[in-house]
Structure 1
Amino acid sequence: MSLRPILETRPAQPHTEGAGVKLHRAFGFQDPSELDPFLLFDDFRNDNPEDYLRGFPWHPHRGIETITYVLSGAVEHGDSLGNAGTLGAGDVQWMTAGSGILHQEMPSGNAQGQMHGFQLWGNLPASEKMTAPRYQDVKGTEIPEIIDDDGTRVKVIVGDFWGKSGPVDGIAADPQYLDVFIPAGVKKTLPVDTYRRAFAYVFEGQAAFADASAPQGVLLEKEVAGEEVNIRDLSGDRTLIRFGTGDEITVQAGEEGVRFLLISGAPIHEPVAWHGPIVMNTQAELHQAFRDLRNGTFIKPAH
């Protein structure tokens, strides 16, 4: 087994999106090869309704898939296919924009006015950019949760993990999307497929992630061939950890435990032409998408 090195640790940055929603962006609109097949990750979390109620009014997408995961509050959504519904706490929506979709997402708070959720954008390969749009809503009660003997809890949203399969499937990036809680002081090693790009996003508590490449730091004993590997300083709320190649990560939870998302996916290795909500492979395709928007042919008839 090989521990993944840490390529980068960085805080999510404040950002305003939609009609004035204040959120934190962990990555997006930078180097799309960095976490290929993933393009963008937003943490929308607010206690003040004025910071989120204006939401994300009608807007287009083409060439991507989005996974929206709600932790608290709710998100009402509608789209050009005629679908409408509400995502509540614990629910997930997977949306494939394909050849083009118009949709809106309007968040609302819980009884205390709090709203918290995540949105991840996955790229579509060239062969699937112009497929028919589709979507899937999954209730939180359908998401399997694994509880280990040491108190570690893992919700399997997408992919396979420890013998359980997540209810969301059919995503081109073939991701693994896990919501992980590790209790205070517990050290845990989690497998990650060698051939996938992977990152963690801490959103509660603190933890130290072992780094196979770090030349210095606090040593974390690891019982693999008697080796010791270095561990980075504690990573706290709204921290992105980007991993290199390997087939496992090791996490040491802090004094309050830690909760983080562990996400990985198979890279596409294709050129990216990207502007706003449209992601294609060439500038010509990108220009055509915006021409379609202007002349009213963006939404393609179903075949």
Structure 2
Amino acid sequence: MSTRILQQIIPAIATSDGAGVKLRRSLGQTQALRVDPFLMLDEFSSENADDYIAGFPSHPHRGFETVTYMLDGHMLHEDHLGNKGDLKSGGAQWMTAGRGIIHSEMPQQESGRMRGFQLWVNLPAKEKMKPASYQDIQPDQIPRIALPNGGEVKVIAGSVDMDGKLIWGPIQGITTEPLFLDVRLPANGQFSQAFASELNAFVYPYEGQIEIGPIDKARQLESQSAGVLSSGDSIEIRTQDRSAAFLLLAGRPLHEPVVQYGPFVMNTREQIEQAMSDYKNGQLV
């Protein structure tokens, strides 16, 4: 087996989105900083309501999937088709925009901590125009696996191998075969996992510092930075004198051209122009 090492570090930068929600963006801050099939990763975290209260009013999407994973807080999702869904602490939503959706995500709290992530996952060309759909995931639907050293793994998508037994998350059957894990390790903890060598992968620590790779090739990764991993069929992650929490994400690359204009992600400029025209004329969906 070959162990993946830390190949590139992408520090998250402070920015805002929606109606002024303050966040930190690692993947997606430029169109060159992506990890196929992942287009963007945003982290939002604040106890100041002024940083999030304006939320994400109605806006369109076409051609990819959005994943919202809440650590703390409560947001309400609504769309033009009449769908509604609550995003609460520990839950997630996997939205396939497909040919088009116009939706909003608005805070349902006026104080307290709002913390979580939004991940954008590309769709293959053959699926970009399929109907929009949702998978709303409640906290109790996400497996929580205790690690021998006192840590914990939450499996949002894909699976982990624990002593020869596969533990599957609620998100399955997606072309890009995403793996989405939320891992928490105590001080001097360790996490190792095997996964398909053909998947692209990155790690995002959101609390503390971690060390990635075999001892002789280990590199440190600070919180609020995305660490892009090399090829390989396993990963080793350790903590030192402090605990840490991180996301581990992997997916099958599409190897297709990406043309993005704001909330539209297609394969050609002509398709982007069509998406803009459809939105303007009320024919996005």
Q: How does the TM-score come out when normalised to structure 1? A: 0.89
1:182-201 pair list within 5 angstroms = 182-201=185-204
Instruction: Return the alpha-carbon distance in structure 1 between the equivalents of residues 10 and 282 of structure 2.
Output: 41
C-alpha offsets along residues 36-72 of structure 1, whole Å, 9 cap, x if unaligned? 0010000011111001110110000000001110000
Instruction: Return the alpha-carbon distance in structure 2 between the equivalents of residues 255 and 136 of structure 1.
Output: 38
| Count of aligned positions | 281
SS of the equivalent of 1:256 reads: coil
Instruction: Return the alpha-carbon distance in structure 2 between the equivalents of residues 9 and 268 of structure 1.
Output: 22
Instruction: Return the alpha-carbon distance in structure 2 between the equivalents of residues 159 and 272 of structure 1.
Output: 24
**What corresponds to 1:23 in structure 2?**
23
Instruction: Return the alpha-carbon distance in structure 1 between the equivalents of residues 32 and 252 of structure 2.
Output: 14
Question: Which of residues 212, 216, 219 in structure 2 aligns to 1:232?
Answer: 219
Is the CA contact (8 Å cut-off) linking 2:63 and 2:123 kept in structure 1?
A: yes
Change in CA separation of 1:208 and 1:241 when aligned onto 2, cut-off 3 Å: same
Change in CA separation of 1:150 and 1:135 when aligned onto 2, cut-off 3 Å: same
**What corresponds to 1:293 in structure 2?**
279
Q: Using the TM superposition, give the Cα deviation of residue 146 of structure 1 relative to its aligned residue in structure 2, in angstroms.
A: 1.1
Higher mean displacement: 141-150 or 260-269: 141-150
Instruction: Return the alpha-carbon distance in structure 1 between the equivalents of residues 210 and 274 of structure 2.
Output: 46
Higher mean displacement: 71-80 or 180-189: 180-189
Instruction: Return the alpha-carbon distance in structure 1 between the equivalents of residues 33 and 123 of structure 2.
Output: 13
**What corresponds to 1:122 in structure 2?**
121
Q: Using the TM superposition, give the Cα deviation of residue 32 of structure 1 relative to its aligned residue in structure 2, in angstroms.
A: 5.6
Q: Using the TM superposition, give the Cα deviation of residue 171 of structure 1 relative to its aligned residue in structure 2, in angstroms.
A: 2.9
Opposite residue 218 of structure 2, the aligned amino acid is I
Change in CA separation of 1:288 and 1:169 when aligned onto 2, cut-off 3 Å: same
1:210-289 pair list within 5 angstroms = 210=213, 220=215, 229-233=216-220, 235-289=221-275
Is the CA contact (8 Å cut-off) linking 2:10 and 2:27 kept in structure 1?
A: no
Higher mean displacement: 195-204 or 290-299: 290-299
SS of the equivalent of 2:129 reads: coil
Q: Using the TM superposition, give the Cα deviation of residue 236 of structure 1 relative to its aligned residue in structure 2, in angstroms.
A: 2.8
Q: Using the TM superposition, give the Cα deviation of residue 158 of structure 1 relative to its aligned residue in structure 2, in angstroms.
A: 0.3
Change in CA separation of 1:96 and 1:141 when aligned onto 2, cut-off 3 Å: same
Instruction: Return the alpha-carbon distance in structure 1 between the equivalents of residues 192 and 132 of structure 2.
Output: 38
Change in CA separation of 1:10 and 1:32 when aligned onto 2, cut-off 3 Å: closer
Q: Using the TM superposition, give the Cα deviation of residue 264 of structure 1 relative to its aligned residue in structure 2, in angstroms.
A: 0.1
Is the CA contact (8 Å cut-off) linking 1:143 and 1:156 kept in structure 2?
A: yes
1:76-155 pair list within 5 angstroms = 76-109=76-109, 113-155=112-154
Change in CA separation of 1:160 and 1:188 when aligned onto 2, cut-off 3 Å: closer
Instruction: Return the alpha-carbon distance in structure 1 between the equivalents of residues 174 and 92 of structure 2.
Output: 13
Cα RMSD, aligned residues only: 1.6
Structure 2, unpaired ranges of 5+: none
Is the CA contact (8 Å cut-off) linking 2:200 and 2:252 kept in structure 1?
A: yes
Instruction: Return the alpha-carbon distance in structure 2 between the equivalents of residues 187 and 97 of structure 1.
Output: 37
SS of the equivalent of 2:217 reads: strand
Look at both structures and tell me which one has the larger radius of gyration over its CA atoms: 1
Instruction: Return the alpha-carbon distance in structure 2 between the equivalents of residues 156 and 209 of structure 1.
Output: 20
Is the CA contact (8 Å cut-off) linking 1:95 and 1:135 kept in structure 2?
A: yes
Instruction: Return the alpha-carbon distance in structure 2 between the equivalents of residues 237 and 63 of structure 1.
Output: 30
SS of the equivalent of 2:68 reads: strand
The alignment status of 1:181 with 2:184, answered yes or no, reads yes
The alignment status of 1:45 with 2:32, answered yes or no, reads no
Q: How does the TM-score come out when normalised to structure 2? A: 0.94
Instruction: Return the alpha-carbon distance in structure 2 between the equivalents of residues 170 and 20 of structure 1.
Output: 34
